[in-house]
């Protein structure tokens, strides 16, 4: 998907501008050493909002990771959005991971649900049900249902989602962003085959989380 700033997410530019302005002001009136912590902050903000292009696997039945991070859950679970048994795979993002979210499959957006909630540590399982979250239901061309849930974390205070019911998504297409530490839960049909294990590090779009039954 093409968007204005392919290396730095557009959501980050106001934060980068503020951080750079503060660093320059302190440098101008206080000198280099006083401004150094603010330049460190600028570097942190730049790395947080980086959004590099990714290679999209060509495997037709692949479910791609919607986020960068570490796998914290793989197993059978209840999908509370589609009221079904499902294979659940969860990716935890720390503040040093890329935080743009990308579609795990090709398909049509059947529904989007937003739920306000708490901000407990996103690495914990209870974050899936207790924290602020935004769920997207995607139906593939073969009729498989995939639920992709953005979950706010301990520090995260804003979930951004740019799609709505009736939109079409392509695998790897950027559809949202979560600011400052969070997780993404993916609910798949029970016959999907996981390709990752707890503790694995994954990259949005380029890592295959699972394979849908053919």
| β-bridge partners, 5 | none
Residue 43 neighbours by CB under 8 Å, 6+ apart? none
CA 180 to chain centre: 11
65 is a catalytic site residue = no
Residue 25 neighbours by CB under 8 Å, 6+ apart? none
Query: Which among 40, 13, 24, 68 has a CA at the least distance from the CA of 206?
Result: 68
Query: Which among 100, 148, 152, 108 has a CA at the least distance from the CA of 126?
Result: 152
| Percentages of the chain per state (helix, strand, coil), in multiples of 5 | 20, 35, 45
Identified catalytic residue from 35, 142, 182, 206: 182
Q: How far is CA 135 from CA 27, 40, 55, 132, in A?
A: 44, 35, 25, 10
Residues with catalytic annotation? Answer: 182
């Amino acid at each position: 998907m093409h968007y204005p700033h392919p290396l730095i997410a557009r959501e980050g530019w106001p934060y980068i501008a503020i951080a750079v302005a503060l660093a320059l002001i302190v440098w101008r009136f206080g000198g280099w050493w006083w401004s150094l912590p603010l330049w460190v902050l600028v570097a942190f903000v730049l790395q947080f909002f980086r959004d590099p292009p990714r290679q999209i696997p060509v495997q037709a039945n692949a479910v791609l990771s919607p986020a960068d991070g570490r796998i914290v859950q793989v197993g059978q679970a209840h999908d509370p959005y589609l009221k079904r048994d499902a294979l659940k795979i969860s990716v935890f993002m720390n503040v040093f991971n890329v935080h743009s979210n990308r579609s795990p499959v090709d398909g049509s957006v059947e529904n989007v649900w937003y739920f306000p909630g708490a901000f407990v540590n996103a690495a914990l399982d209870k974050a899936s049900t207790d924290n602020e979250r935004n769920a997207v239901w995607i139906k593939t061309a073969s009729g498989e249902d995939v639920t992709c849930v953005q979950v706010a974390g301990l520090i995260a205070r804003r979930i951004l989602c740019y799609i709505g019911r009736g939109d079409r998504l392509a695998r790897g297409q950027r559809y949202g962003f979560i600011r400052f530490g969070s997780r993404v839960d993916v609910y798949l049909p029970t016959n999907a085959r996981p390709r990752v294990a707890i503790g694995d590090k994954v990259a949005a779009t380029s890592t295959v989380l699972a394979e849908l039954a053919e």
